[in-house]
Each structure stands twice: as structure tokens, then as C-alpha cells.
Amino acid sequence: MALNIQSRLFARTASSSSHNGPLRVYNRSPEKTAPLVAAGSIALNSPAALAQQCSIVHVMMANDAAVLETITALLATPRPATLPQLVVLNHATVSPTCARTAHAMCTAKGAIFVPCPVMGRPERAKEAKLGAIVSGLDKAVLARVEPSIRCFSENVTDVGADIGAANAFKLVLNYHLPVGMEMITEAMCLMDKNGIDRKHLLAFYPFILSIALPGYASVIASSSFHQGMSVANGIKDVDLILGLGRDSGVKLKYAEVARERLVKALERGRGDLDWAVMATVIREENGVETGLKGKL
């Protein structure tokens, strides 16, 4: 249900991989179903028709309200007794509260709700290489739905027993994207102002994104701050970056914030630790254990 660009692509992939007969599809704008029908799918004219003919329904709506409205329509439809228990998978990015509400609605009607947000751009959907995230499922339910998820995802990650955890994790992942895009744009502005071709930055991103940042992520996750560049040297580097920004007329918001956290780490007696120890300042600001107990 709901055929945006991404869901149309993974519906096309699912259609070609279906082992249970033709894929049934529905969209409010029927013209979006035409390519899928041409590929062998069957277009239906309502959510009710899906509920009457399908035992597993994949939903990709725009927001929380649309997801709950759609699930209400699915659950209100009488189903043939010969059909297996209805399973509704939601792939949209919604709040954990929405997922819990949908779960309660489905449970009350004898159906199963599966939070299954997906990660990946449209080209990944076309190649069946999305990353799927699930939570709150028992093994039998996961075994039932995983084959259909694998039609468009190369992996399925179960993040725990809480039905809202999958959507919380998806939002955590999505948080990296706008922040990352803004930081990349600031960096490219520095490149432009200093007459350096952007292609050189792109060439270094595989190292930054695949090696440097995952390395620091491991340090932060394990609170292993005893090796690496010191806080003082980190402040020195950030000051140089900010100086380049001032000289170039480029405002570097994230560098300014990072410097504030590094200075606080220095003031709190953590100057000899790896500069990733700024993470402890952020943890303290958010009421999270620093991870330093017994390590200093």
C-alpha cells in the first residue's frame, strides 16, 4: 500500500520474487500501479480488497496519522476464514508511539503488527539492498515475514523486544542524515572559498566515512578514551578549522559546538584522554552515565 518512489521500486522487486502468486498492490492514485501491473502484479481498488485477499500487507504511508488510518481500514474489513492471520508490516518512518498504537490496534483485532522501517535510497530499493529494522517480534512471526522482507532488503536487523524500538532506531539513523548533509555542505563551502575542487573531498569520504568515523564510534561506544589525540590537541585542530572558516567567510556551526564540548572536557580534568572524550560532556548534558567510572 502507498506507492511512493521507494515503495514502487521495492514492490517491483517483491513482485519478481513472489513465491505466493501475484503481488497485490493498492495506491490512491491508480496510475502509480501501472508499471507493477505490467510486471505481473494485480492492482486492487481499496485497502479492504487487500485485507480480503492477502495475509501479509506491506504499508508505506506518509506519516503517523496516515498509517493509523490505513490500519484502521484494514482491520475493519471482514476476512475469509480460510486466510491465515493478517500481518501488517509498516515500512514508513513514524514515531515509536505510532508503532505501539498500531500494535495495540492489531492485537485487539487478532492481527499482527510488524514495525519494519527500512534504510536506503531508491537505487538500493531497486537492487533489493535496503536495510530492514524490526522489533517486538517472536521467532515464529519473524520466520513468517522475513522471506517477503528479503525481497527488497539484504539484511533484517532485530533491535529488541520493545515494539517501538525499530522506529526509535530508524529515527536515530535518520538523525545522521540532515546533520551530515549540513556538515558536508559547510565543508564544501570551505573548499569553494579556498579554490579546491570538491572532487578531492569526495575522494576522501570513503576514508572518513568507512574508517575514521567508525573508529571513533567504537571508541565512544566502548568509552575507551585512553589512546589517541589529546583534548588539548583536539582544541588546537578545531581552532585552526575555525580560523580557516573565519578567513574564508564560512560559518562552521558544528566546529563551534565541538570546541565548547572539548573545553568543558578539559575543565573537567579529562585533558589527557582521547579527544573523543567530548562524548562524556554530551552524556552528562543528557543525563546519561559518562562511562568513565573506574577508568580514570
Active site residues: 170
Contacts of 218 (CB under 8 A, 6+ apart): 224
Residues 6+ apart with CB under 8 A from 29: 3
Supply 138's cell numbers.
517472536
- Extract the C-alpha cell encoding 157: 536487523
Q: How far apart are CA 296 and CA 293, in angstroms?
A: 7
Q: How far apart are CA 136 and CA 162, in angstroms?
A: 5
Which of 132, 134, 143, 119 lies closest to 165, judged by CA? 134
Q: Give the DSSP letter of residue 85.
A: P
H/E segment holding residue 157: strand 153-158
C-alpha to C-alpha distance for 218 and 64, rounded to whole angstroms = 33
DSSP label at 30? G
Residue 121's φ and ψ, nearest 5 degrees, are -80, 165
β-strand pairing of 130-134 with 56-59? unpaired
The type of residue at 71 is: I
Report residue 83 CA to chain centroid gap.
32
Q: Which residues pair with 274 in a beta bridge?
A: 230
